[in-house]
Structure 1
Amino acid sequence: MATATTPLVELLRSRYSVRKFLPAPMSASDIQGVLEDAQTSPSNSNTQPWAVHIASGAARDAISEGMLTAYGEDRTSADFTSGYGDGLYAERAQRHGATVYEVWGVARSDTEGRDEVVRDNLRFYGAPHAAFLFMPVLGDGVRTAGDIGMYAQTFLLSLTARGFHGIPQTVLGMYADVVREVLGVPEDLKLLFGISFGTADPAAKINDLRMHRLPVEQSATVHEMPATGSSLTADRECGKP
């Protein structure tokens, strides 16, 4: 007996990353609502290690200008290393990049066009707001980073539920010193990544892009899958205690 689809399932499957936003800002109450939703995220031993800074207006513009300057000078200040290795994950990342550039209409040989795509990242894709997710370094940082990831997912789903959109951007974490300086964030907090957010531009072709997801069987191994209809829910629906 199949479980009926719920609004949550529909929400999960409707979220996508937006790469072109309208300039109109969200209201303070909408942003507060998203932050309150995100605050319900689970964390290791309830440490709630996220330190989130929302930049809008002049602060947002100053960060973008600083990142663009640093990019032009080939100067990064990432708090964490990055990379995909040289195997399966690198191949997936390459396919992702190729897909995005294709929709933008930028050829592999178009150096200036590809450079402009990067710069558009650093302009937050035109989004009026950006959330910067900082974390303290506790132990090796892995569990803390996992907590930040759960916070970010809740943040993104709350945006979707409220009629807004966002996109998590690792590239924003490559300019941690710029963000810290503009926002006055202490050195002991490390920038993992940022989320640009606001209202999606419905006329932008790039926003029609939906990234491929692997079949579940390629990511998850289920040991001893329950037999069909053997769940507690199914038993109850059939009148069993």
Structure 2
Amino acid sequence: MTTDAAVPAAPLIDLLRSRSSARQFLPTPMSPPDIREVLEDAQRAPSNSNTQPWVVHVVSGAKRDALSAELVRAFEEERFSPDFTADYGTGVYLERSHDHAAIVYQARGVGRTDVEGRREVVRENLRFYDAPHVAFLFMPMLGDGVRTAGDIGMYAQNFLLSLTARGFHGIPQTILGMYADVVRQALDVSDDYKLLFGISFGTADPDAAVNRIRMHRLPVEQSVVMHGVPEWGCANS
């Protein structure tokens, strides 16, 4: 049943539309109970046949600092070891990736020809943007891994939305998966588990200009084809 009166957005809708990725954090750590609550929320994610394939390592404190330093060294020495490719192709997806990078560089004050400035942006990634915590999301290779990776994505979305709901912030970082061997060795993780990506998290720095970035989203019409439903904006009679 519908009425002409405006219906306020549900809290979940507000949450979905307000979440954004932070790229500069305050050093203040979250409390263990707060982290536990976020993990409990993430654990509610759906998964294929309830396999719950996520294997998550949360790193904080001195362990986090040592791992960050080793990741930066691996970057300087070009010791890449991705478990998965990071290929955007040659078309629109690559263009969107380039647009994203340009927005971030501009917010950081890094020019197009500033090679060292761009390298420093990579280092900031590997320093987890100064976030006090980082969660590494590993997965077993079940079949070709596609369904399992989808499950990890749903887990990550729960994780990110839970952070937002509790007044915290996070950012998923594919770049952390580019150094999978470094992370596995540091955390004593079996080679049987593949690193998809990491999520740096904590409290966003409210004064950082880069945290005012809001990446655009495509109109629904550019991503969705409707079949057997009324035209947009028309209600069922």
Q: TM-score, normalised by structure 2?
A: 0.95
| Aligned counterparts of 2:46 and 2:8: Cα–Cα separation in 1 | 26
The aligned residue for residue 95 of structure 1 is: 99
The aligned residue for residue 238 of structure 1 is: none
Q: TM-score, normalised by structure 1?
A: 0.93
- SS of structure 2 residue aligned to 1:21: coil
1:50-101 Cα distance to aligned partner (Å, 9 max, x none)? 0000000111111101110000001111111111011110000000001110
Could you tell me which of 105, 113, 116 is aligned with 2:117? 113
- SS of structure 1 residue aligned to 2:196: strand
- SS of structure 2 residue aligned to 1:172: helix
| Aligned counterparts of 1:140 and 1:102: Cα–Cα separation in 2 | 38
| Aligned counterparts of 1:74 and 1:178: Cα–Cα separation in 2 | 12
Quick one: which amino acid aligns to residue 171 of structure 2? I
2:28 corresponds to 1:42: no
The aligned residue for residue 205 of structure 1 is: 209
Give 1:140-155 correspondences, 5 Å limit.
Answer: 140-155=144-159
Gaps in structure 1 of 5+ consecutive residues: 232-241
| Aligned counterparts of 2:184 and 2:111: Cα–Cα separation in 1 | 35
1:160-187 Cα distance to aligned partner (Å, 9 max, x none)? 0000000000000011111111111111
Give 1:6-85 correspondences, 5 Å limit.
Answer: 6-85=10-89
| Aligned counterparts of 2:7 and 2:188: Cα–Cα separation in 1 | 49
Quick one: which amino acid aligns to residue 80 of structure 1? F
1:11-46 Cα distance to aligned partner (Å, 9 max, x none)? 000000000000000000000000000000000000
Could you tell me which of 175, 192, 199 is aligned with 2:179? 175
- SS of structure 1 residue aligned to 2:80: coil
| Aligned counterparts of 2:193 and 2:112: Cα–Cα separation in 1 | 37
Could you tell me which of 154, 158, 162 is aligned with 2:162? 158
| Aligned counterparts of 2:23 and 2:229: Cα–Cα separation in 1 | 39
Could you tell me which of 158, 181, 186 is aligned with 2:190? 186
1:182-201 Cα distance to aligned partner (Å, 9 max, x none)? 11111100000000000000
| Aligned counterparts of 2:52 and 2:38: Cα–Cα separation in 1 | 16
Quick one: which amino acid aligns to residue 23 of structure 1? P
2:134 corresponds to 1:130: yes
Q: State the 1:229 CA deviation.
A: 3.9
| Aligned counterparts of 1:71 and 1:162: Cα–Cα separation in 2 | 33
Quick one: which amino acid aligns to residue 160 of structure 1? T
Quick one: which amino acid aligns to residue 236 of structure 2? S
Between Structure 1 and Structure 2, how many residues are aligned? Answer: 231
The aligned residue for residue 139 of structure 1 is: 143
2:217 corresponds to 1:230: no
Q: State the 1:224 CA deviation.
A: 2.1
- SS of structure 2 residue aligned to 1:119: helix
Task: List structure 1 runs of 4+ shifted beyond 4 angstroms.
Answer: none
Structure 1 stretch displaced more, 73-82 or 153-162: 73-82
Gaps in structure 2 of 5+ consecutive residues: none
